[in-house]
Every structure is written in C-alpha cells, then in structure tokens.
C-alpha cells in the first residue's frame, strides 16, 4: 500500500514562529502537493513539486514556502506563522503520468495562537 505520512497530527504554534510541516511518501512518486482545508472552501493548493528541487506555486502560496531536497520528502514552511494560517494541512503524492489518483496523508491540524 502507498503510504503518505505527515509528521504531526496536531500542532499548536505561536504567532511569529517558524513552522515546518513534513511529509514523506514511500512509493517513489514524482508529484507531491500541499493543500490546506478550510470549512466551505474545500482543499486549496498551496504548492506542488514535480521533481526533486522543483516547485510550483499553487493557488494560495503567500506566507508559505516549500522544500524538496529528496524525492520522498516534501516540506511546507511557514516562515512567520499567523493566526489566519490556522487550518488543516494535507499532503498528497501521485505518479507522474498515470494520473489516476493522488494519495493523501492523514492531515496536520495546525493552530496558531
């Protein structure tokens, strides 16, 4: 089974802190994605990466950055956390061309106080 693992299930951070959300997948997928999920807004794409060291902005990249130094790991970074970044964050991975579905991690619920 494909496994996408996010490092934390719940996080509470203070405003202004630097926050790292880690995601690891074990199926050698080229594509990895970070979404945030908010009630009524569905999932919105923050960043995605189609290869090591490659990244593309999604719909809402402001306030976030990403890092993909190894194929299996995709990190989301909040340089200076703010309360409006309180949300559920979901990581996903998918195979490059056989695009039948993306596999998701279990989500990280981040609260910024």
Partner 1 sequence: AQKITQTQPGMFVQEKEAVTLDCTYDTSDPSYGLFWYKQPSSGEMIFLIYQGSYDQQNATEGRYSLNFQKARKSANLVISASQLGDSAMYFCAMREVMAGNMLTFGGGTRLMVKP
Q: Report if residue 33 touches partner 1, rule: CB under 8 A.
A: yes
Q: Are 62 and 77 in contact (CB under 8 A)?
A: no
List of E strands, 1-113: 4-6, 10-13, 19-25, 31-38, 42-51, 54-57, 64-70, 73-78, 87-94, 103-104, 108-112
The interface region with partner 1, picked from 11-19, 27-35, 67-75, 78-86 by CB under 8 A, is: 27-35
Shortest distance, position 104 Cβ to partner 1, whole Å: 4
Near partner 1 by CB under 8 A: residue from 8, 22, 58, 71: 58
Compute CA distances 19 → 98, 100, 111, whole Å. Answer: 33, 32, 11
Q: For residues 16 and 27, which CB has a smaller minimum distance to partner 1 in the complex? A: 27
Question: Any contact of residue 89 with partner 1 (CB under 8 A)?
Answer: no
- Residues found near partner 1 in the complex (CB under 8 A): 31, 33, 35, 40-45, 48, 50, 56, 58, 88, 90, 92, 94, 96, 99-104, 106-107, 109
């Amino acid at each position: 089974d494909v496994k996408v693992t996010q490092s934390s299930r719940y996080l509470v951070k203070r405003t202004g802190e630097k926050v790292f959300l880690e995601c690891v997948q074990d199926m050698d997928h080229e594509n990895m994605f970070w979404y945030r999920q908010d009630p009524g807004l569905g999932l919105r794409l923050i960043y995605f990466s189609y290869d090591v060291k490659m990244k593309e902005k999604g719909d809402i990249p402001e306030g976030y950055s990403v890092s993909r130094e190894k194929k299996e790991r995709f990190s989301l970074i909040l340089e200076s956390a703010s309360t409006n970044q309180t949300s559920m964050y979901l990581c996903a991975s998918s195979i490059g061309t056989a695009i039948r579905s993306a596999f998701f991690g279990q989500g990280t619920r981040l609260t910024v106080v």
